[in-house]
Amino acid sequence: MQKDNSNLQKSDQLLTMRHSCEHIMHQAMVELFPGLKRAMGPATEDGFYLDFDYDGKVTEEDFPKIEKRMQEIIDSDLPIIREEVSLEKAQEMFADNPYKLDWVNQIDEKGAKASVYWNGEPGKSDSDVDLCKGPHVTSTGKVGPFKLLSLAGAYWHGDSKNKMLTRLYGTCYPSQKELDEYLHQVEEAKKRDHRKLGKELDLFVFSDLVGKGLPLFTPKGTILRDNLNNFSQQLRLDRGFQKVWIPHITNKKLYETSGHWAKFGKELFLVTSQETDEQLVMKPMNCPHHQQIYASQIRSYKDLPIKYLETTTIYRDEKAGELLGLSRVRSVTQDDSHIFCTPEQIEEVYTELIQIVKSFYGCLGMTHKARLSFRDPNESDKYLGERELWKKAQEILLTIAKENKLDYYIAEGEAAFYGPKIDFMVMDAIGREWQLATPQLDFVQPQRFGLSYIDEKGKEQTPVMIHFALMGSIERFLSVYIEHTAGIFPVWLSPTQAMIIPIADRHIEFANNLRSELAKAGIRTDSDNRGESMQSKIRDAQLQKIPYMLVVGDKEVAQRGVSVRTRDNQNLGLISFEDFKNKVLEDVKSKR
């Protein structure tokens, strides 16, 4: 599937309508809360938000009256009119709002023109005006059904050194049916929130003493991480990848050479040697290190492709206000890979990586589309490398997508600064789309580091590098996967695969013996030897979403069997211990 212009047009129309709904919310807010200063408010993929400064307090209890006033403005069908104004006029119009004056100054620095949008006839006392580049619908009556959702804090420009503002989220859709479907999805997402489930299932924790955005994984969470990572690595090892290892700090010159320092210098954690005053960096990515392993010896075309893999943690100084559970952290663990190949091998390597993606996500029951993330032709200064190299790289990815019959679309402006990529957009159980696996083509960095190989004619050539992460980051992947499964992991991934439940104290010894035998077979088992009732123990195990509960009493001891119940309340009855053990081993082997 190529770029779907009709879908893109619908998406643009939806964003435009949401942008206008957000302006209607602006108008309602300044009318209802005198003295409120609006800062900024864009439309988003899910709706819109407004950041504002207000000495009083706005709470969710105020939502009904805000929504009522918004609906009145929509029903009035006021014209939405664009007016281009001079910078001096803009400064005069928003003289009492420091946030708008800040935007005016930024417009001035870019050499751009200022524009405002009016809800209502310009200059009239009952009209509302805001600094904005648009676009908007033609009148307030063109805005569809909407809903205010939540409140949060947000720093001005996302900088914790600036004042904390209030952020009000809302959404808007063309029809009530679409809005209701989205609101149902929001409610379902709350139930599946990985932060809530992570605590209930004892998977990970955060500590103020350790620091914000630095998750700590419990024994159960570590089992989940390790099993996913082992699967990810095995899929690549089976195709000729080799493990490497790199340190967690490096000389900043490495990132100056790669170009990361110029692009992301403010996101890096710096480390200074007390011995030599050498400036070091906590590594924010692994590709420059892997390139140094490649560069350590002369390479022949006969050696290529060379495929490195490593699961390792990188560090980025994410803004405190943007940290969110495992979705956005400061310590990011990547199941990372870098492939060095000749230009002629690109298609072969990509086909292999696509098969790995299909195997991994197919096993987990997650469907996906492919987003071809290309450079924005109107913002060439955002990217490194020659325009012709980019054109060639993008044409190659387009050919690969077609030949592999991927369900794909093109997204200009989503490329990395050094190359285009295929982002696999994975759909979760409640219909949300997430960017996870990414094979990324790179002609730029190998040139910057002077990498080479000797071709069949004895001449030096520059290899192509392909960056590939199957999960992307384990933390973010887990945030998606926990919510996708609602914590109901398949048997092979479940931290505890079976809970043995002795009915009475006299059955505890038998339960412990079974636990020991299952452990020797590699089955993760626990035994609930508390003095609670059997029903209470079963309920607790089901709340922990453990796949199997093995009830043992006199009958089970006599027959060396177990009465099996499942987390979804099926009663499988009494079966022999050996049959149960073999069943679980088959579940694990088949990744069920």
Please state the three-class secondary structure of 389-458 as a single string: HHHHHHHHHHHHHHHCCCCEEEEECCCECCECEEEEEEECCCCCEEECCEEEEECHHHHHCCCCEECCCC
DSSP character at residue 28: H
Where helices occur in 5-95 by DSSP H, the ranges are 5-32, 63-75, 87-93
Burial of 462 (0-12, 13-18, 19+ CB in 10 A): middle
Q: Which residues contact 215 (CB under 8 A, 6 or more apart)?
A: 204, 205, 206, 326, 329, 331, 475
Is 338 assigned a ligand-binding role in the annotation?
A: yes
User: Catalytic residue among 21, 287, 567, 581, which?
Assistant: 287
The CA radius of gyration of the chain, in Å to the nearest whole number, is 28
Q: Which residues contact 349 (CB under 8 A, 6 or more apart)?
A: 305, 339, 341, 466
DSSP character at residue 588: H
Pair 134, 124: CB distance under 8 Å: no
**Residue 37 falls in the annotated catalytic set:** no
Which domains, from first to last, does the chain contain?
5-192 (3.30.980.10), 206-248+283-485 (3.30.930.10), 498-589 (3.40.50.800)
User: Catalytic residue among 51, 130, 335, 336, which?
Assistant: 336
**Residue 287 falls in the annotated catalytic set:** yes
Of 170, 126, 164, the C-alpha closest to 145 is 170
**What is residue 5's predicted lDDT score, i.e. its pLDDT?**
44
**What is residue 127's predicted lDDT score, i.e. its pLDDT?**
86
Is 132 assigned a ligand-binding role in the annotation?
A: no
Distance of CA 372 to the CA centre of its chain: 17
Pair 309, 240: CB distance under 8 Å: no
Pair 531, 558: CB distance under 8 Å: no
**What is residue 10's predicted lDDT score, i.e. its pLDDT?**
63
Pair 182, 219: CB distance under 8 Å: no
Pair 98, 106: CB distance under 8 Å: no
**Residue 316 falls in the annotated catalytic set:** yes
**Residue 363 falls in the annotated catalytic set:** no
Is 484 assigned a ligand-binding role in the annotation?
A: no
Q: Identify the helix (H) or strand (E) that includes residue 246.
A: none
Pair 492, 364: CB distance under 8 Å: no
Q: What is the rounded CA–CA span in Å between residue 144 and residue 135?
A: 16
User: Catalytic residue among 252, 307, 328, 467, which?
Assistant: 467
**What is residue 139's predicted lDDT score, i.e. its pLDDT?**
94
How many Å is the maximal CA-CA distance in the chain?
92
**What is residue 7's predicted lDDT score, i.e. its pLDDT?**
54
**Residue 336 falls in the annotated catalytic set:** yes
The structure's pTM equals: 0.86
Pair 586, 579: CB distance under 8 Å: no
**Residue 328 falls in the annotated catalytic set:** no
Pair 303, 453: CB distance under 8 Å: yes
Of 322, 328, 98, the C-alpha closest to 194 is 328
User: Catalytic residue among 233, 334, 345, 394, which?
Assistant: 334
Measured in degrees and rounded to the nearest 5, phi and psi for residue 165 equal: -105, 175
Of 370, 388, 395, the C-alpha closest to 444 is 388
Side chain identity, residue 535: Q
Residues 134, 140, 146, 149, Cα dihedral to 10°: 60
278 conformational bin, left if phi > 0, alpha if psi -120 to 50, beta if neither: beta
Q: What is the rounded CA–CA span in Å between residue 252 and residue 271?
A: 10
**What is residue 3's predicted lDDT score, i.e. its pLDDT?**
44
**Residue 568 falls in the annotated catalytic set:** no
**Residue positions counted in the chain:** 592
Q: Tens-of-pLDDT digits for all 592 residues of the chain?
A: 444 444 555 678 999 999 999 999 999 999 999 999 999 888 988 899 999 999 999 999 999 999 999 999 999 999 999 999 898 999 999 999 999 999 999 888 888 888 999 999 887 877 899 999 889 999 999 999 999 999 998 888 877 788 899 999 999 999 999 999 999 999 999 999 999 999 999 999 999 999 999 999 999 999 999 999 999 999 999 999 999 999 999 988 898 888 878 777 778 888 888 777 788 999 999 999 999 999 999 999 999 999 999 999 999 988 777 788 999 999 999 999 999 999 999 999 999 999 999 999 999 999 999 999 998 887 877 787 778 888 888 898 899 999 999 999 998 888 887 788 899 999 999 989 999 999 988 888 899 999 999 999 999 999 999 999 999 999 999 999 999 999 999 999 999 999 999 999 999 999 999 999 999 999 999 999 999 999 999 999 999 999 999 999 999 999 999 999 999 989 999 999 999 999 999 999 999 9
Q: What is the rounded CA–CA span in Å between residue 466 and residue 337?
A: 8
Of 198, 202, 223, the C-alpha closest to 522 is 223
User: Catalytic residue among 421, 476, 484, 565, which?
Assistant: 421
Whether the CA torsion 394, 396, 400, 403 is positive or negative: it is positive
Side chain identity, residue 493: L
